[in-house]
A = this chain, B = another copy of it.
Amino acid sequence: MPGLRQRQKEYRQKRIASVAKTLFIERGYEKTTIEGIADAAGVSGVTVHNYFGTKAGVLLALVIENDRQLIDRLDESLENKTDDLVVLTTLFAKIVMEHALSNLAKVVWREVIATVTTNADSRLSKEYFKLDQQLALVLVRQIVALQKAGKVSERVDPLHLGKALFQIQNARFIQFISSDELTSADIEQKLRNDLEALFSVCRP
C-alpha cells in the first residue's frame, strides 16, 4: 500500500516532468528555468531541486522514459536483418542516432552526457546506465542468434562481444552528439572503419 503521501509525491513528480518536457520543446533547454518549470507545475523551485537535483536531472527523467521505447524498437528492427557483425552494429548505431535526434536536439543530449558523467551515482544516472546495459544486451541477443545460425564462430563470447561493440558504438554516438557538423552517415563510416580494423586482427 503506497499511502497518500507517496502517491501525491508521484503525481507531483509526473506533473513536473510533463510540464518540463513541454517547456523544453517550446522554449528550448537553455531558456527554460527551474523556477519556470516549478511555476507551471504549481510547486516551489526547491521542490523541483529536491526531486530531480538539477535542471539536467529533470531532463534525464525524460530521457529515461524515451529510452525505454528505443529498447523495444531495436529488438524488432534488427531481427533477421543481416548476417554480418559490422552491418549489425552500424545499423544498431543508425537506429540509436535517429531515435535520439527524433526526441531531443544534440545540444540537449550533450547536457545529458555531462550530467551522467559528473553525477554518475545519482539515482537517475544509475537508471540511465542500466538502460545502457539493456541496450548492450540487445546486441548480445543478436550475436547469439547469428551464432545459432552458424554465421558467427562458436569461439566468440556473445556477452563480452556485445558489450564491446556497444562501447565502441556508444563512444561514436557521443562523438556524434558532441559535434553539430557530424552526420549520422559520418559516424556510421567511422564505426565501419573501427570494426573492419578490429575484425581484421586474427589472433592464434
A27 within 8 A of B: no
Q: How far is the CA of A202 from the CA of B83 in the complex (A)?
A: 14
Interface size on A, residues (CB 8 A): 42
Q: How far is the CA of A198 from the CA of B89 in the complex (A)?
A: 13
Identify which of A167, A196, A198 gathers the most chain B CB atoms within 10 Å of its CB. A198
* A201 & B161 in contact (Cβ 8 Å cutoff): yes
- Contact of A200 (CB < 8 Å), options: B114, B161, B163, B200: B161
Closest 4 CB pairs of A and B: A114-B114, A160-B197, A164-B194, A161-B197
19 residue pairs of the A-B complex, CB under 8 angstroms, read A113-B118, A120-B178, A120-B179, A153-B200, A153-B201, A156-B201, A157-B193, A157-B196, A157-B197, A161-B197, A163-B193, A164-B168, A164-B194, A164-B197, A171-B171, A198-B198, A198-B199, A199-B201, A199-B202
